[in-house]
Amino acid sequence: MAPGRSDEHLDLLLERARQHPPGRLQDAVRAVARVSARLFRTRYEGLAHVPRAGGTLVASNHGSYLDHFFLACRIDRPVNFMAAAELFSNPVAARLLSALGAFPVRRGAHDHATIETAQAIVERGGLVVIYPQGGIRPSLDGRPRHGVGIVALSTGAPVVPAAIVDATSLHRAGFLRFPKVTVRFGEPLRPGREDPPDQEDAERATDAVWRRVVELFGAATQRG
């Protein structure tokens, strides 16, 4: 796909996410995921911290390719996710991912269009999952990207910190081995509203959210 055509294709997917929440296909996959989660003996803590309505951000660590399913399967409302733009290069895959609530992010650059899409979803009352570290990371070390702070400040939305423990083991568990997974949600953080947000304020807001994610991860590990 030519670069110009690719950008146009991604822009159309972003516009769709801004205008339309995920529908029945996400509901069907959520029902299947709830059954599958039992194989991993998945334990959920703090689900009551996730607002049942209204613009919301969920910020989580991202240790495995199944994190979308672990998070969304017990959140009883439509969920949107950022996903790598490369996954949308195939038209069939793009339609499927879009129907499941994913929207593309171009890695390696500050993707203003994706941030604006997350803002639009939150402003229409939707829930967006953001992984502050970006792609899959086996460790929580390193400073997060500050996109979650930008979206939170520009919309005034609450940010629910979440920790998934220990999904990273899926990459070394082997075929048909199901490690125990805990998903822990913390109390929403409310950075306030600042539109447009100052970059330093966005970084501070993101750092505060990420510290809480790390704390939840540690607490879940200790309780393991």
Tens-place pLDDT, residues 178-220: 667 899 999 999 999 998 899 999 999 999 999 999 999 986 5
Is the pLDDT reported for residue 27 higher than 50?
A: yes
CATH of residue 170's domain is 3.40.1130
**Could you tell me which of 68, 61, 51 has the C-alpha nearest to residue 122?**
51
The span from the CA of 27 to the CA of 33, in Å, is: 10
Domains identified in the chain, total number = 1
The span from the CA of 127 to the CA of 116, in Å, is: 14
Structure tokens at 52: 């049942």
Peptide bond into 196 cis (omega under 30): yes
Q: Amino acid identity of 93?
A: A
Note down the domain range covering 178: 3-223
The span from the CA of 135 to the CA of 7, in Å, is: 20
State the distance between the two ends of the chain, measured CA to CA, in whole angstroms.
Answer: 46
Is the pLDDT reported for residue 148 higher than 70?
A: yes
